[in-house]
């Protein structure tokens, strides 16, 4: 493409520059050279939206007095050395990738539609690598250490045969760190926790799921750390067992509908049709219809009372009418939720657990007996750690949301499948979010930051 033939057409935006001093330094060794010629350079630029933009510069050519080269040109402000596009083009592409999280091909389309620039896929990736060179992750670590609340959510993400370990601060809402591990095992988890400790982080409360990788590792790195098990995962596992019991009742009722003499093939008799019509008019469900109704509304057994609509309350009452034994599952679920009710003390939660575990009706049920095993005393103490603190998170949803950010970064960026590109993409994302964080202040890096929305970690009274 000959840029000189395109200048000035269709109202193009042009920035003219004059860069031709008599003497200029070599860009490599900094020795001065004398000007011997002046050439015109035309560089594609991003100046105005919906218009092609150019930097047109008269540039001096200098004879080198060193062995770096025979001749060199003066640097153009706003244009990289030997660059085809201006720095503003690089910056626009990098912002689309990092800040707007756009796929590479969508960036190409944006540059073509908004700025009439046809950039290649390779150039987009070069801008991604260039953007990573501009950041300083030590600055991010300084921000983390200064603003860490003492609470860490830790979780792992599995991606194409590798595992990514993440740690976030749920109270002050930022990602602490990550590590790309080849395998999800104890050695890599210990290495990740050691890296956090080496950075000077003192974790007072660690929130995790039920993975055995955290069972003994946390106390070996932070002696007084309290381990909070994610309540969301605990409730999810218990509800799964409860719904298993509901489906067992549904299957029993369905089997009852298959008993008796099989109906003969062909059209039912007139008497049979009349009985079926009367049954429907009276609103009486057959056994198969009852089983189907239980299956379709089984979620109501574990739905919170305050979330039920009027129609759902009617359906729940009908469930109990069809199968009265479902009331026990519903009662158990209500009592189980009350174990983790906010505002109660640990002592109160332990008393409720004792009554729940010692209930003979629950112990006699095959499915509820399995749920009681999840409430062993040692494990239950890890579930109620949040009750001993003010404004404490009781789930690791914060790090789960962080994991979904990574999934979005990976979904359409097929060039990011190697370890070094994944690492650079995550570091760019962490750095970009740090710059937009309400606790970040570049002018007061060494001054303690106090923000009204900050939630300090405090023991409950």
Tell me: the pLDDT tens digits for 150-174? 999 999 988 877 889 999 999 999 9
Report the pLDDT averaged over residues 456-460.
63
pLDDT at 30: 87
pLDDT at 4: 47
Lowest mean pLDDT among 89-98, 257-266, 402-411: 257-266
- The predicted pLDDT at position 444 comes to 44
Section 377-383 average pLDDT: 92
- The dihedral sign for the CA sequence 67, 70, 73, 79: negative
Tens digits of per-residue pLDDT, 247-302?
Answer: 999 999 888 866 655 666 666 666 665 666 665 565 667 788 889 989 999 999 99
Cα dihedral sign for 138, 140, 146, 152? negative
Across the chain, what does the average pLDDT equal?
Answer: 86
Contact 397, 232 (CB under 8 A): yes
Mean pLDDT to the nearest integer, 182-186:
85
Higher pLDDT, 426 or 453: 426
- The confidence score (pLDDT) of residue 414 equals 56
pLDDT at 213: 87
Long-range contacts of 193-200 (CB under 8 A, 24+ apart): 193/217, 193/218, 193/221, 194/221, 196/152, 196/167, 196/221, 197/221, 197/222, 199/141, 199/144, 199/145, 200/145
Question: Per-residue pLDDT for 364 more than 80?
Answer: yes
Asked if residue 177 lies in contact with residue 195, where contact means CB atoms within 8 angstroms, the answer is: yes
The reported pTM is 0.79
* Average pLDDT of span 182-192: 88
Residue 342: which pLDDT band, with cuts at 50, 70 and 90? confident
pLDDT of 226: 93
**Cα-flanking dihedrals φ and ψ of residue 229, to 5°?**
-80, 140
* 17 contact partners, CB below 8 Å, separation of at least 6: 55, 56, 57, 58, 76, 77, 78
The band of 83, judged by pLDDT with boundaries at 50, 70 and 90, is confident
The answer to whether residue 2 scores a pLDDT higher than 50 is no
> What is the Cα–Cα distance from 83 to 91, expressed in whole angstroms?
13
CA 74 to chain centre: 46
Distance between CA atoms of residues 109 and 272, nearest Å: 67
Neighbour order of strands in the sheet with 226-229: 174-181, 162-169, 151-159, 205-208, 226-229
The whole-angstrom separation of Cα 416 and Cα 428 is: 13
Which range (213-222, 232-241, 330-339, 344-353) has the least confidence?
213-222
Q: Is the pLDDT of residue 3 over 80?
A: no
The confidence score (pLDDT) of residue 326 equals 94
Indicate if the pLDDT at residue 199 is higher than 60.
yes
Of 137, 213, 201, nearest to 172 by C-alpha is 201
Nearest to 75 by CA among 112, 25, 4: 25
Q: What is the band of 308 on the pLDDT scale with cuts at 50, 70, 90?
A: very high
Q: What is the mean pLDDT of residues 68-95?
A: 90
Quote the pLDDT of residue 212: 86
Please list, in sequence order, all residues whose beta carbon lies within 8 angstroms of the beta carbon of residue 104, skipping any fewer than 6 positions away.
Answer: 97, 121, 124, 125, 413, 415
Q: Is 60 exceeded by the pLDDT of residue 5? A: no
pLDDT value for 138:
92
| Whole-number pLDDT of residue 158 | 86
Mean pLDDT, rounded, for 42-53: 90
Tell whether the model's pLDDT for residue 192 goes beyond 90: yes
Strands 13-19 and 53-63 come out as parallel
CATH of span 137-230+395-459: 3.30.420.10
Residue ranges per structural domain of the chain: 1-84, 137-230+395-459, 231-258+281-390
Query: Is 406 in contact with 426 (CB distance < 8 Å)?
Result: yes
- Stretch 54-63: mean pLDDT: 92
pLDDT the model gives residue 29 = 86
What is the C-alpha to C-alpha distance for residues 47 and 248, in angstroms, rounded to an integer?
68
> With 70 as the cut, is the pLDDT of residue 75 above it?
yes
pLDDT of 26: 87
């Amino acid at each position: 493409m000959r840029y000189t033939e395109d200048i000035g057409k269709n109202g193009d935006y042009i920035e003219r520059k004059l860069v031709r001093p008599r003497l200029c330094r070599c860009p490599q060794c900094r020795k001065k050279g004398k000007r011997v010629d002046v050439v015109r350079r035309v560089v594609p630029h991003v100046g105005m939206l919906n218009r092609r933009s150019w930097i047109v510069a008269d540039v001096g050519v200098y004879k080198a007095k060193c062995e770096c080269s025979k001749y060199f040109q003066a640097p153009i402000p706003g244009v990289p050395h030997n660059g085809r596009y201006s720095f503003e083009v690089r910056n626009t592409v990098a912002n689309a990738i990092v800040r707007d999280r756009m796929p590479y091909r969508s960036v190409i389309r944006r540059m073509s539609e908004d700025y009439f620039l046809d950039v290649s896929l390779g150039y987009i990736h070069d801008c991604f690598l260039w953007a990573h060179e501009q950041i300083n992750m030590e600055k991010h670590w300084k921000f983390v250490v200064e603003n860490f609340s003492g609470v860490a959510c830790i979780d792992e993400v599995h991606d194409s045969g590798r595992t990514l370990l993440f740690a976030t601060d749920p109270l002050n809402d930022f990602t602490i760190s990550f590590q790309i591990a080849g395998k999800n095992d104890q050695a890599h988890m210990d290495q990740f926790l050691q890296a956090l400790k080496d950075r000077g982080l003192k974790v007072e409360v660690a929130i995790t799921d039920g993975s055995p990788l955290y069972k003994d590792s946390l106390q070996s790195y932070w002696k007084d750390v309290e381990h909070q098990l994610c309540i969301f995962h605990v409730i999810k596992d218990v509800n799964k067992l409860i719904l298993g019991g509901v489906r067992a009742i549904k299957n029993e009722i369905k089997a009852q509908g298959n008993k008796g003499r099989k109906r003969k093939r062909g059209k039912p008799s007139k008497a049979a049709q009349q009985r079926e019509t009367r049954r429907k008019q009276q609103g009486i469900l057959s056994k198969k219809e009852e089983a189907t109704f239980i299956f379709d509304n089984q979620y109501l057994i574990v739905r919170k009372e305050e979330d039920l609509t009027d129609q759902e309350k009617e359906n729940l009452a009908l469930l109990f009418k069809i199968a009265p034994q479902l009331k026990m599952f519903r009662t158990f679920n209500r009592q189980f939720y009350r174990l983790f009710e906010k505002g109660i003390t640990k002592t109160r939660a332990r008393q409720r657990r004792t009554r729940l575990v010692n209930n003979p009706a629950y112990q006699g049920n095959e499915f509820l007996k399995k749920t009681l095993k999840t409430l062993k005393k040692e494990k239950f103490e890890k579930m109620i750690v949040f009750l001993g603190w003010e404004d404490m998170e009781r789930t690791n949803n914060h790090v789960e949301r962080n994991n979904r950010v990574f999934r979005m970064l990976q979904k359409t960026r097929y060039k990011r499948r190697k370890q070094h590109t994944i690492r650079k993409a995550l570091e760019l994302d962490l750095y970009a979010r740090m710059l937009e964080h309400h606790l970040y202040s570049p002018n007061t890096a060494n001054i303690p930051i106090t923000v009204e929305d900050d939630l300090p970690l405090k023991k409950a009274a």
